[in-house]
Every structure is written in C-alpha cells, then in structure tokens.
C-alpha cells in the first residue's frame, strides 16, 4: 500500500476495523494471518458475554479454518444438528437433517457466541501485525483520496488519531459509520416480537431443533453445546414485553414446551426482528460489514454467518492490495458480490419464518399438509431434508472472469478430503493456504499443472495443486515439485467434468474466479490471458 502523507497521526496501519464482534474479529484474524497491518477498535472491555447467535454453518467453519482456529472452534460446538418441524398437535411433519459436506464441515452446528468471540480474540495474540484496542471509542472519521483519518477516544478520555488506508465498519446494527457514509437500510421490521430465553443445565436431550408451528403461539427450542439451550416464543397480540418476560411467565411457557421449567436461566429478553439491507455498502475507503450492512431475521440462523462472509470477502481484497497482488479496483466488486447474496439469505429466512408462524389453523393445515405430501416424492423430500433450498454461495458478477457458459465460475469451490502422496489425508484448503490457487482436476492433473506453470497468470504467489479423481491413484512418478493429491470424497466430480482435465483459478475466499476445460495448451494460454487481464484491470 502507499505511504501516508499526513501530519503525525498517533498510529498508522493498512486497515482499521471498528467493532470487535464476530465480523470484526474474524476480519482481524484473517488480516493478521496475512501479515496486514491492522488496528481493531472496540469500545467495550471484553468480547460479548451474553448469548446471542447460536448457529454456525459450514461456510463460516471454513472461514475459521482460514483463520487457523478451526480446532479451537470445533471443540466448543455441537456439530451436525437439524430441525424438526412440529404441527399444532405435536406431530413431526418435516425434517431438515443435512448430511453433506460440500465445504468440509457440517451444514449446521450449534455454538455459543461468547465462546467463539473469546477464541477469536485470543487468536489475535498470534499476530504481531494486529493491534487490538479494547476500551477505545470511535469518535469520527475523515476520508480523503489517500485514506482515512480516524479519531478515537481512550478510556481516560484522551484522543488518539489513527491513519489508515481503509476502514472496515463492523460496528453492528446501530452502526454510526453507516450514517456517516450516508447509507440507508432498506427493507422492513417484523410487527411481531419474540421472547428469547437462554439457559444452562437443560434437561432436554434432543440434539435437533424443534420448531413448533402453532398459530396460537409459534415457538422454537434450539440445542446448544454443553447443556445450553435456547427457547424462543412469539408474543401474542396484546402481550407486553414486561409481562411475558417475568420469571413466572417464563416458567409457565417452559413447562408447556419441555422439561426445562426449572433450568438455570441466564437471559430472557424480548426482541423485534428486521429484514433489511443497506442501499450502499461503501465509499472508496470505508466498507460496511456484518450487521452494519444487513439485518437478518433469525429463522435461518444466518445473521452472524453473513457477517463472517463479509469479513472473508474484505480480508482477501485488503490483503491483495497490501501485497500488490491486485490494484484497489478489486474492492469495487465487494458490494456487487455480497449484497445480492446477503439479501437472498434474508429472503430465505423470511420464507422459513412463514412456515414457522402460520397465521391461522387453516393456513397451518394447508402448509403442513403440503410438507406431509413430500414424503411421497423422494427427490422433493431429500431436497428439503438436505437443506438444498438454502441459497448457494454464488456470485453472478464481481472479481471474476465472467463466463455465461460456465456453471462453476462465481461459485464456492468444494473442499474435499484429499489423499496425499504419502497416503495421509488432509482438507484441501490446508494445501493451498489463504492464497489464489490454480487447481487442476482430471486424469492428467499433474501434467496440466506442469504445462500451466509455463504461463503467466498475473498473480504473484499463485499456489498450484493437482487433484486426481477419486477412482484413480495419484501418479507418484510425476514431478514431486508439483503438489498432488486425490479427491477422497468425490466432491469435485459433482462440479467438474470427469472425462476431461479442468483447470480452475480459486480466490483466497474459495470462490471460483475462472475455469477452463483443457484439450490443448492453447486452452491454458487463453485462461491465463483472461485472468491476467482481469487482475490488470483492477490496477
């Protein structure tokens, strides 16, 4: 990045992050892993202590892997849970129990946000390039053509000036920075409120979520790790926040829905939910992320996960600019990629909410009856059970070599378990690190990589990997300098043509930037030219 020409700021860095929730902490860890000079500003002394988000998905776990913290995060979750949708009479009319591992991890897992944030904060201690400033309050920002000047207030009230190239606004749903850049939230707020009850020492042993789709009062029972559990109850018309949140009222509700009437309650609070996304996500130097950019209803468990996606999307871009791999134009695609996908997940949550909250007994009968009929259509039942209705991570436009004929470009690349030359196994991402990668797949993958190395793709530090299909052995006689492995899961066969060799350029956030089917050296040259031109266009 360029040097600063400002009057003696107290501190300088490449990226200043405002807000140390899951989004800001994830971004700081990813930037720290890359060695990007980062300052993280948080007004509170500690990370969040009370329960908040409770569901983490496979994409977020893959990002935790990129942070180098997957072992620690997995130790604190209850992996692989589903949802059972219950009728007004208590009959299970639909199940969502996904078993697939496209990205290397369970589709849904239960976790507690305080433990995740503590792990992420501790993870920052690994990186000398990251400076966390807790108990520091954001005051103002001045943006110019070369960067941002941020005014911070220390705990003792004295000022601190930070000069940075970029600012990531991860300051939550009441974001001050959203207002500063003139962004507005578009969408709606639910008219209904919900009582959230978090507890410890639950007596309920079911590891699946129970969704009680009762028009009289919708309710949800969500499992957590280590004896934790959450209940959510929709308020009826005329019920006040204060009335329903009393200890007596909460115990009465719990007695109706399970064995946890006398469990240890750690939080009871009434919430209103929002379905909103910002019209503008950034200026040239300030970028919104997480709840600052979008507010998601909780019915699909995607609010925090969308923020983690934002963090990964910004981290590799800031890194690419800092290391001069791309130009600053790479940031122009941030909103174009993230906004449509964030809104798709908001709509996903809205639709799940419609199933959960029937407005009348007639509507409940019709909707639940339709789901019962799915049992007679195995493909449809599998579509729902495997959660294939969740919007796939897919960018139609952005920092890609756009190809209208490709079903691969813009999609998140799978993460198979792979067998190495020494017959050990690993997750694919661990072989390529947080870098752009050139991945060959097919019967002659090693030869394809060897030929591709003669071309200039215009990406410094481009990693290479040759992946052999599941049905074949790796050729251990090939050039040992070319990293090679075998797809143990057969995941890549579901995405790429098996009969021909494929060459794929994967971004650090694991999205496919470009791809080509290789029938001759000319195909490789054309792919290299297209990628090189796309990178050059960002300068």
Provide the β-strand partners of residue 417.
Answer: 427
Between 159-163, 296-300, 302-306, 507-511, the lowest mean confidence (pLDDT) is in 296-300
Last residue of a domain, one of 302, 321, 354: 354
Question: Is 140's pLDDT higher than 90?
Answer: yes
Last residue of a domain, one of 339, 354, 369: 354
- Residue 2 has a pLDDT of 38
Q: Which residue in 168, 146, 166, 128 sits closest to 34, CA to CA?
A: 128
Q: Are residues 58 and 134 located together in one domain of the fold?
A: yes
Say how many C-beta atoms besides its own lie within 10 A of residue 200's C-beta.
14
Q: Are residues 32 and 179 located together in one domain of the fold?
A: yes
Q: What are phi and psi of 44, to 5 degrees?
A: -85, 160
- Residue 5 has a pLDDT of 45
Number of domain units in the chain:
2
CA distances from 273 to 115, 187, 296, 303 (A): 24, 11, 8, 11
Q: In this structure, is residue 532 part of a structural domain?
A: yes
- Residue 535 has a pLDDT of 98
Q: In this predicted model, what pLDDT tens digit does every residue of 340-370 receive, in sequence order?
A: 999 999 999 999 999 999 999 999 999 999 9
Q: In this structure, is residue 521 part of a structural domain?
A: yes
Q: In this structure, is residue 199 part of a structural domain?
A: no
Q: In this structure, is residue 41 part of a structural domain?
A: yes
- CATH number of domain containing 481: 3.40.30.120
For residue 128, give its domain range: 11-69+112-184+276-354
Q: Are residues 305 and 443 located together in one domain of the fold?
A: no
Q: In this structure, is residue 389 part of a structural domain?
A: no
DSSP E strands in 121-208: the ranges are 130-134, 137-144, 147-153, 159-169, 185-200
Q: What's the mean pLDDT when you consider all of the chain?
A: 95
- Three-state DSSP class for 366? helix
Q: What CA dihedral angle connects 130, 461, 103 and 294, to 10 degrees?
A: 50
Question: Is 374's pLDDT higher than 60?
Answer: yes
- CATH number of domain containing 54: 3.50.50.60
Provide the β-strand partners of residue 96.
Answer: 83
Last residue of a domain, one of 321, 354, 387: 354
- Residue 494 has a pLDDT of 86
- Residue 498 has a pLDDT of 58
Per-residue pLDDT averaged across 20-35, rounded?
Answer: 99
- Residue 7 has a pLDDT of 64
pTM to 2 decimals? 0.96
CA distance 528 to 522: 10
Q: In this structure, is residue 170 part of a structural domain?
A: yes
Per-residue pLDDT averaged across 140-169, rounded?
Answer: 98
Percent of the chain with pLDDT over 90: 90
Under the banding of pLDDT at 50, 70 and 90, the label for residue 475 is confident
Q: Are residues 342 and 470 located together in one domain of the fold?
A: no
Q: For the chain, give me the number of helices (H) and strands (E)?
A: 14, 25
Question: Is 537's pLDDT higher than 50?
Answer: yes
Q: Which residue in 143, 142, 125 sits closest to 134, CA to CA?
A: 125
- Residue 406 has a pLDDT of 86
- Residue 225 has a pLDDT of 94
Q: In this predicted model, what pLDDT tens digit does every residue of 413-431 receive, in sequence order?
A: 999 999 999 999 999 999 9
Q: Are residues 167 and 54 located together in one domain of the fold?
A: yes
Under the banding of pLDDT at 50, 70 and 90, the label for residue 22 is very high
Per-residue pLDDT averaged across 82-109, rounded?
Answer: 94
Q: Are residues 169 and 307 located together in one domain of the fold?
A: yes
Q: Are residues 145 and 291 located together in one domain of the fold?
A: yes
Q: In this predicted model, what pLDDT tens digit does every residue of 378-388 receive, in sequence order?
A: 999 999 899 99
Per-residue pLDDT averaged across 119-148, rounded?
Answer: 98
DSSP for 142-166 reads EEETTEEEEEEE-TTS-EEEEEEEE
Strands 55-57 and 108-110: antiparallel
Q: Which residue in 121, 117, 112 sits closest to 55, CA to CA?
A: 112
Per-residue pLDDT averaged across 295-312, rounded?
Answer: 95
Per-residue pLDDT averaged across 257-284, rounded?
Answer: 95
Question: Is 203's pLDDT higher than 50?
Answer: yes
Q: Are residues 147 and 33 located together in one domain of the fold?
A: yes
Q: Are residues 350 and 422 located together in one domain of the fold?
A: no
- Residue 258 has a pLDDT of 86
- Residue 375 has a pLDDT of 87
Say how many C-beta atoms besides its own lie within 10 A of residue 188's C-beta.
11
Per-residue pLDDT averaged across 278-290, rounded?
Answer: 99
Q: Which residues, 6+ apart, have CB-to-CB distance to 533 below 8 Å?
A: 458
Q: Are residues 297 and 438 located together in one domain of the fold?
A: no
CA distance 169 to 143: 13
Q: In this structure, is residue 493 part of a structural domain?
A: yes
Higher-pLDDT residue of 373 and 496 is 373
CA distances from 124 to 13, 90, 196, 219, 329 (A): 16, 46, 31, 38, 28
Question: Is 1's pLDDT higher than 50?
Answer: no
Question: Is 6's pLDDT higher than 80?
Answer: no
């Amino acid at each position: 990045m360029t040097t600063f020409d400002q009057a003696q700021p107290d501190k300088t860095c490449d990226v200043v992050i405002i807000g140390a929730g899951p989004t800001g902490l994830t971004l700081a860890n990813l930037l720290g892993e890359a060695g990007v000079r980062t300052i993280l500003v948080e007004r509170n002394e500690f990370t969040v202590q009370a329960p908040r988000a409770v569901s983490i998905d496979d994409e977020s776990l893959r990002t935790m892997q990129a942070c180098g913290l997957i072992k620690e995060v997995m130790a604190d979750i209850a992996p692989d849970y589903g949802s059972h949708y219950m009728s007004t009479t208590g009959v299970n009319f639909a199940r969502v129990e996904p078993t697939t591992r496209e990205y290397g991890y369970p589709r849904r897992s239960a976790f507690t946000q305080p433990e995740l944030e503590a792990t992420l904060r501790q993870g920052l201690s690994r990186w000398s390039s990251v400076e966390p400033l807790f108990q520091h309050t954001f005051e103002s920002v001045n943006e110019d053509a070369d960067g941002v000047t941020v005014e911070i207030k220390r705990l003792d009230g004295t000022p601190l000036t930070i000069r940075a190239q970029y600012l990531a606004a991860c300051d939550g749903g009441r974001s001050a920075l959203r207002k500063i850049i003139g962004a507005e939230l578009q969408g709606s707020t639910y008219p209904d409120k919900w009582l959230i009850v978090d507890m410890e020492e639950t007596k309920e042993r079911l590891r699946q979520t129970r969704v009680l789709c009762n028009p009289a009062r919708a309710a949800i029972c969500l499992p957590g790790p280590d004896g934790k559990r959450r209940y959510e109850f929709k308020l009826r018309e005329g019920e006040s926040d204060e009335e329903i949140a009393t200890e007596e009222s909460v115990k009465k509700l719990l007695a109706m829905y399970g064995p946890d009437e006398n469990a240890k309650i750690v939080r009871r609070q009434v919430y209103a939910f929002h379905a909103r996304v910002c019209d503008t996500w950034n200026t040239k130097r300030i970028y919104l992320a997480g709840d600052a950019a979008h507010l998601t209803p909780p019915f699909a468990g995607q609010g925090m996960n969308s923020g983690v996606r934002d963090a990964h999307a910004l981290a590799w871009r800031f890194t690419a600019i800092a290391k001069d791999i791309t130009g600053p134009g790479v940031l122009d695609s941030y909103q174009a990629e993230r906004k449509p996908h964030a809104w798709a997940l908001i709509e996903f949550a809205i639709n799940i909410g419609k199933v959960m909250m029937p407005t009348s007994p007639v509507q409940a009968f019709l909707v639940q009856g339709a789901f019962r009929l799915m049992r007679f259509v195995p493909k449809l039942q599998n579509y729902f059970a495997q959660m294939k209705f969740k919007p796939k991570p897919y960018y139609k436009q952005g920092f890609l070599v756009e190809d209208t004929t490709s079903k691969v470009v813009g999609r998140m690349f799978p993460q198979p378990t792979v067998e190495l030359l020494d017959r050990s196994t690993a997750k694919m991402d661990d072989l390529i690190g947080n870098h752009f990668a050139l991945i060959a797949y097919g019967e002659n993958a090693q030869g394809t990589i060897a030929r591709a190395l003669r071309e200039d793709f215009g990406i410094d530090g481009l990693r290479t990997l040759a992946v052999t299909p599941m049905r074949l052995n790796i050729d251990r006689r090939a050039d040992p300098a070319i990293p090679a492995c075998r797809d143990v899961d057969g995941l890549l066969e579901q995405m790429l043509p098996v009969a021909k060799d494929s060459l794929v350029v994967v971004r650090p956030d694991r999205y496919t930037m470009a791809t080509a089917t290789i029938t001759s050296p000319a195909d490789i040259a054309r792919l290299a030219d297209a990628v090189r031109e796309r990178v050059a266009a960002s300068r």
